[in-house]
Amino acid sequence: MPTYDYVCDGCQHRFELFQPITAAPKRKCPECGRWRLRRLIGPGAAIVFKGSGFHQTDYRSESYRKAAAAETTAGSDGSGSGKGKEQAAGKKKQTSSATESD
């Protein structure tokens, strides 16, 4: 059974009422006794998943985690990031000098 929020337009009394879905909305305020009670429309109940196994990263394999950790440590120390660019630049110089000598 859901819990409904109510507010009285006469005295501004707010409260929650636990009642079946099939029950008619209440109209009389329990605080002031006037017939100015209004049921509020709420956002609804959200589903909350607690614990591990509900996120994409929880499903990753152990080998993936190890490779990702190795990649982040190699990129953070700076040793592996510039090496490939230097090698590519060296190959470019070798090919350009070879075509000039012909």
Q: State the chain's mean pLDDT as an integer.
A: 76
At 77 the pLDDT is 60
At 1 the pLDDT is 76
At 64 the pLDDT is 82
Report the C-alpha gap between 64 and 23 in whole angstroms: 53
Return the residue matching tokens 């959200």. 46
| Residues, the chain | 102
Q: Is 14 helix (H, G, I), strand (E, B) or coil?
A: strand
| Range picked from 22-26, 71-75, 93-97 for highest mean pLDDT | 22-26
Give the pLDDT band of residue 74 (cuts 50, 70, 90). Answer: confident
- Cα distances (angstroms) measured from residue 13 to each of 10, 32, 40, 48: 8, 8, 12, 30
Q: Please determine, for residue 30, whether its predicted confidence score (pLDDT) is greater than 70.
A: yes
Report the C-alpha gap between 6 and 70 in whole angstroms: 56
Give the pLDDT band of residue 13 (cuts 50, 70, 90). Answer: very high
At 58 the pLDDT is 60
Q: How far apart are the first and last CA of the chain?
A: 88
Give the predicted TM-score (pTM) of the model: 0.43
